[in-house]
Amino acid sequence: MNANPILLQKKYSRVIECFAKQQGISLDAALDFFYHSEVYPLIRDGISDMHCMSDAYLAEELEQEYQEKQ
């Protein structure tokens, strides 16, 4: 199932903001990491209904990926 592109853009911004706060990094750094992450295409393409998960859950997924890449 695909989500409305406008709703996805809003979801991305909320997830990026939450992730930036959790990691104590700038919004620019969080934005860059998000769009180059493995999580982004899963949300964008609706795989496993990732776009339906909460913002906090998706931010945690990003955090795990961020820690692995550090």
pLDDT in tens, 1-29: 577 889 999 999 999 999 999 999 999 99
pLDDT digits (tens, 9 = 90+) for 34-64: 999 999 999 998 888 999 999 999 999 999 9
d(CA 27, CA 17): 7
What is the domain count for the chain?
1
Residues spanned by the domain of 31? 5-69
pTM, two decimals, is 0.92
Distance separating alpha carbons of residues 22 and 38, to the nearest angstrom: 18
